[in-house]
Chain A
Amino acid sequence: MSSVEPILQIKDLRTSFFIDRGEVKAVDGVTLDVPKGKTLGVVGESGCGKSVMALSILQLLEEPGKIVGGEILFNNVNLLQKSEKEMRDIRGNNISMIFQEPMTSLNPVYTIGEQISESYRVHQNMGKKDAYQKSLEMLRLVGIPSPEKRLHQYPYELSGGMRQRVMIAMALACRPDLLVADEPTTALDVTIQAQILELIKDLQTKLHMSVIIITHDLGIVAETCDRVAVMYCGNIVEQADAEELFERPRHPYTAGLFNSLPRHDQEKEELEAILGYVPSPIEMPQGCRFSPRCSYAEEICRQQNPDLKTLDNTRAVRCWIYSDGWKGSKEVAYHG
């Protein structure tokens, strides 16, 4: 556990899609916590369940997705026991979300002002005029040039980066305690990416928010996150403070991820890719999900999935290596 009190705790969350071919366990026992006022990065390869986990927090899943178990404690209250109406009051008000695709996440037929002011009108019962005034302030806050003009423009008149700023303005309008940003910069140019991340960091300090940043870019994690949760096949395999994690990854998958990063201090950029493929969510391997690709795997790994085990006070790992009965080497290779 982190030393700071968590604002959000997810315990053994399980979310599945029930399709014709069977149950797709997209999130299968995720446990993590978000320290108050800090940034948690969630990393993992494409398809490991990051977005599904994020959507589960706000219960925004669509058919045939369904949360089948676990708890999501927000300020120690289980969100999964709230009614739809209570959840509506939380969405965009206490917890907000921004998405990967700024180009399509804004409604093309309404002005920017209309879309931002909606948050104020629904959560703070504000009149139209006041809501527009507040929206203007928000546009200013997220650094949009000539905000008065933008207020009356439609999304197509804005670039991708500007639209993501508008999304941020919209998400933060009601000063939420938690912002869930699902790959907020993946669709943007590199220079714009940096600006958007900086903006999120900056606003986090100003507004005293907690943030979850979902990404598959370890560079972003290194720059912006206080804590990191590594996800693999619907599980969290390792969670630790960012610094510690980068210093010494404990889980073979985390180490593999880091080892596959191109390093700038080396002449020959030799990439050590993780061997094998991500298993299909319909046919999960028995035992540890990483076992078919793991060079440390022993017999027990193929039989039983390890539990998430707290190592030090601040780190949790889901791997048999750190159990008492482990006979093999306890050193996970990492050349960081």
Chain B
Amino acid sequence: MLQFIVRRFIQTIPVILGVTLLVFSLIHLIPGDPAQIMAGEAAPEATVEAMRERLGLNDPLHVQYGRYMSSLLQGDLGQSVRTSRPVMDEIQPRIMITIRLAIYSMILSIILGLVAGVVSAVRRYGLLDATLMLAALFGFSMPNFWLGLMLIKLVSIDLALLPPSGWGTWQQGILPIITLGTGGAAIIARMTRSSMLDVINQDYIRTARAKGLKERVVIYKHGLKNALIPVVTVVGIEMGMLLSGTVLVETVFAVNGMGRLAIDAIRARDFPVVQGIVLIFALIFVGVNLLVDISYRYLNKRIELN
């Protein structure tokens, strides 16, 4: 197991290198002259040239990448074009907000998804199952921003129950977390249901019943643990969707997280900040998948031969 973890860690190194390469190229991949775009379309040639100089765009590409990597290793993500502050300082106060939002939404997704999935599977083909799966279909197909707007209209404006924007108090947290968590809950619910249905028909479930165990124990102890194995992978993919979802949700609810910073930076053509955010999102995603792989392996090691 330890060996597996170490190996898996080493395997992420090329992935991370690839990510840095991609993020670095971002600035060169956009059509047009990055210095011109950042300086503004109407900027005089001298300003553009100064911008080019400041970003080191005149050097050969490999020199630029080398410089980018060496500062990256020192924790330096460059400077914001807009505020001239280090990108790190721009991101730092916001990163925890986004991570919290993502984690709480994930927890909501997992709990809601598992409960709905298990209940659906146990009551398969019944009314409750049909209702839950219809709800999951909705949750799955509803765009985040639309759900967010609807919640603001219903809960904040019509019912005046919760604040429509901001982040800090728990009341402010509820709507963004629901908005961001719903899609994931829907996917996890569907996955749990099908996985659970598969497990319920296994011979060992019949063995558990033949032992005289309560149905609850049969389902949750003997069924769910097996059903979770494929669900874990979905949770990993889900986390990626969630991170990208923060961009929209933070914008809709005016949450001052990284997602909103990304939108602001894109609008202001502040490429170093965009690069920094993309890199951090990517690193988080790689990290989460590492965790998922390890837990999958942990759950799965007992059935290696099957």
- A residues neighboring B (CB under 8 Å): 58, 60, 88-93, 96-97, 99, 101, 104-110, 118-119, 122-123, 154, 156, 167, 170-171
Contacts and interface: CB of A to CB of B under 8 A. Distances in A.
A104 B208 CA distance: 12
B222 interface: yes
A106 B207 contact: yes
A106 B204 contact: yes
A118 to B, nearest CB: 6
B267 interface: no
Interface residues of B, number: 22
B210 A92 contact: yes
Contact of B204 (A88, A91, A105): A105
Given A99-B203, A105-B204, A122 B303 contact: no
Interface stretch (B18-26, B111-119, B211-219): B211-219
Nearest to B200: A62
Interface string B185-223: 000000000000000001110111111111001000010
Nearest to A90: B212
A107 B305 contact: no
B304 interface: yes
B211 A122 contact: yes
Contacts of B304: 156
A114 to B, nearest CB: 10
B302 interface: yes
Given A105-B203, A106-B204, 19 more contacts: A60-B210, A88-B214, A91-B212, A92-B210, A92-B211, A92-B212, A96-B210, A99-B206, A109-B225, A109-B226, A110-B225, A118-B213, A122-B213, A122-B217, A156-B304, A156-B306, A167-B207, A170-B207, A171-B210
A107 B211 contact: no
B212 A109 contact: no
Minimum-distance CB pairs A-B, first 5: A91-B212, A92-B212, A92-B211, A108-B303, A104-B203
Main secondary structure of the interface of B (DSSP, over half): helix
A119 B210 CA distance: 10
A88 B225 CA distance: 22
Which residue, B211, B214, B222, B303, has most C-beta atoms of chain A within 10 A? B211
B234 interface: no
B305 to A, nearest CB: 4
B299 interface: yes
A88 B306 contact: no
Nearest to A170: B211
A96 B302 CA distance: 26
A123 B204 CA distance: 19
Contacts of B306: 108, 156
A163 to B, nearest CB: 11
Which residue, B212, B222, B303, has most C-beta atoms of chain A within 10 A? B212
Interface of B: 202-204, 206-214, 217, 222, 225-226, 299, 302-306
Nearest to B224: A109
Nearest to A89: B212
Contacts of A106: 204, 207
Nearest to B222: A107
B306 to A, nearest CB: 6
22 contacts: A60-B209, A88-B213, A88-B214, A90-B212, A91-B209, A91-B212, A96-B210, A97-B210, A104-B204, A105-B207, A107-B222, A109-B225, A109-B299, A110-B222, A122-B211, A122-B212, A122-B217, A154-B303, A156-B303, A156-B305, A156-B306, A170-B211
Contacts of B214: 88
Which residue, A97, A108, A119, A154, has most C-beta atoms of chain B within 10 A? A108
Contacts of B202: 104
A101 B306 CA distance: 14
A147 to B, nearest CB: 19
Nearest to A114: B221
A97 B212 CA distance: 11
Which residue, B208, B209, B299, has most C-beta atoms of chain A within 10 A? B209
A91 B211 CA distance: 6
Nearest to A157: B305
Contact of A109 (B203, B213, B302): B302
B211 A119 contact: yes
B214 to A, nearest CB: 7
A109 B227 CA distance: 11
Contacts of B204: 104-108
Nearest to B205: A107
A88 B212 contact: yes
Contacts of A154: 302-303
B302 A156 contact: yes
A210 B182 CA distance: 55
A8 to B, nearest CB: 16
Contacts of B210: 58, 60, 91-92, 96-97, 99, 171
Given A107-B222, A109-B302, A109-B303, A123 B212 contact: yes
Contacts of B206: 60, 99, 105
A101 B206 CA distance: 11
Nearest to A84: B215
Contacts of B211: 91-92, 118-119, 122, 170
Contacts of A118: 211, 213
